[in-house]
Structure 1
């Protein structure tokens, strides 16, 4: 599904308004072009700011939804996530009522949370009898196990999901295969990740 088309028409419509006003006033052509370029730059900057901040502000989230600026959309029974500029897929996730931006990594066996995210979501790591060491892209790190009561990504919900928690993860939270395997299906089409839950939630 092409997400670019609707945005182009919206931006074009917004740019036509100042252009029409300038033409009606018979402003010189060069000045029209300069002002049009300025308006275009302003709208582009606004779109980027709104797209980055929408996960922090519910009002901005509504704006991005209307303008199709959000990189995560629920369409029917599916959740569609556009690839980020860094080549990865990032999802807006609800952990026990706490909002976080998480990296989706099919190469990670289990979902991993930073200590800060676990604390914010009220997730208490278990006290292991023996130290737990896991392999990561940055080498071996010590971690503790825990359970997320409710993890929601769009209309996909996982309950009592096992996770690992460690301060070594820094500020990065990762959705691993133990979440993806709970879905009915998941696939990548072009630059879009499509998740289909077994039982879509409202």
Structure 2
């Protein structure tokens, strides 16, 4: 069973690394206009730009993220208080981040922790399990979120996976918007 879960995780991470690599290449050569921010009466809408101020962190909050031109949801999150650009990835079981980002957040796996083999677009990589104390996007905050740390160069961007999304009351995608509700 454990091997099946690791295999599913490998497929999730690998399947998302290829589009991310393409997006990095495309973004170098195509200048896209920034997404517009639309405000809905009861919902805070957040575009791909970071929020201008520190949000309140009460329960019963919601926000919307607008899809970028490729249909992906990118935003800034705060992980252990540090700003991190993320790609919301419903195909990733866990949050996946590189070693440098984890180190900046105060997470440094021991050599023995690098025991999980994962398949990425760049080939086989080793990962370490971790727990992120706090992950915030706008007014949404989730504590003690499971994550995988991969060696630098294995990921094009930090993936915000289902270990975060499943901790919410609900999330949905409609009309190019991802709605998160806590």
User: Shorter-chain TM-score category?
Assistant: 0.5 to 0.7
Counterparts of residues 120-131 of structure 1 (less than 5 Å):
120-128=104-112, 131=115
Give the match's secondary structure for 2:167.
coil
TM-score (norm: length of structure 2): 0.63
If each structure's helix is expressed as a fraction of its own residues, which one has the higher value?
1
Unaligned runs of 5+ in 1: 1-44, 53-63, 198-202
Does 2:157 correspond to 1:172?
yes
Which residue matches 1:118?
102
Q: Partner of 1:169: helix, strand, or coil? A: coil
Q: Whose radius of gyration is greater, 1 or 2?
A: 1
Q: Do residues 93 (structure 1) and 93 (structure 2) align?
A: no
Q: Per chain length, whose mean CA-contact separation is higher, i.e. which structure has more relative contact order (CA < 8 Å, sep 6+)?
A: 2
Which has the higher mean CA deviation after the structures are superposed, 175-184 or 150-159?
A: 150-159
- The number of equivalent residue pairs is 137
Q: TM-score under structure 1 normalisation?
A: 0.58
**TM-fit CA distance, 1:186:** 0.4
In structure 2, what is the Cα distance between the partners aligned to 1:189 and 1:130?
Answer: 38
List gaps (5 residues or longer) in structure 2. Answer: 1-30
Maintained 8 Å contact 1:110/1:176: yes
Q: SS of the residue aligned with 1:85?
A: coil
What is the deviation of 1:85? 1.7
CA contact (8 A) 2:109 2:128 kept: yes
